[in-house]
Amino acid sequence: MRAMILAAGRGERMKALTQHTPKSLLRVQGSYLIEFAIDALKRAGILDIVINISYLGEQIKQVLGDGKQYGVSIIYSEEVERLETGGGILKALPLLGEKPFVVMSSDIITDYPLHQLPKQLAGLGHLVMVDNPLFHPKGDFGLYEGYLTLDHQPALTYANIAVLHPHLFAGCASRYFRLVELLVPAIKKRQLTGEYYQGKWHNIGEPADLT
């Protein structure tokens, strides 16, 4: 199984900290933020990693290289202009192959056991959901009998950890779009499963989150 780490964004909420440094290279407890995702994937036995880059992307390439120093293989999907989450994954599909792949953000720190993610899907994707953080109190989707829903309460927040099938992106006409634009129609068709995780999960979005 291959994986994609989303690292193309600037991280506007970090303000001046990302003026000359990409968000994924900010340090938390002595490590680059993106290294937490790389380490989690390696521990799960997922060694082939695609990273999309755009803002100050050359810095990321210089620091991470081809991944050998981490015991993984890293290739890059370079975006001249950032394509948002959905567009970024769509562009990287040729590098991810034809089977389901893991996708996760470079700005989360979690002890979620990635090795437990499903290798085979009941539909087009499987999302990990968590309790709503303070910055996102209304959540994203409901979860009922293992499937994501748009109406069941309470809504939970997408943890930015998922297994997606390339077929989810079939027929995409736009290059620039958010992943949620594909998730909502798939949820309506009962094509996305999900799980509720209650362990450690932090979204590193603001300067205070780095401490």
Domain CATH code at residue 68: 3.90.550.10
Contacts of 24 (CB under 8 A, 6+ apart): 7, 32, 33, 34, 60, 106, 107
Q: What angle do CA 209, 179, 137 make, to 5 degrees?
A: 45
Instruction: Domain count for the chain, please give it.
Output: 1
Q: Which helix (H) or strand (E) holds 42?
A: helix 33-43
pLDDT of amino acid 126? 98
Q: Which residues does residue 148 pair with via DSSP β-bridges, in sequence order?
A: 143
pTM of the full predicted structure? Answer: 0.96
pLDDT of amino acid 174? 85
Q: How do residues 146-201 score in pLDDT, each as one tens digit?
A: 999 999 888 999 999 999 999 999 989 889 999 999 999 999 999 999 999 999 99
Residue 155's domain comprises: 2-210
Q: What angle do CA 5, 93, 19 make, to 5 degrees?
A: 40
pLDDT of amino acid 78? 97
CA distances from 7 to 46, 58, 83, 89 (A): 18, 12, 11, 11
**C-alpha to C-alpha distance for 206 and 210, rounded to whole angstroms:** 7
pLDDT of amino acid 173? 81
Of 108, 5, 111, the C-alpha closest to 48 is 5
pLDDT of amino acid 193? 98
Only one residue has tokens 């600037």, namely 10
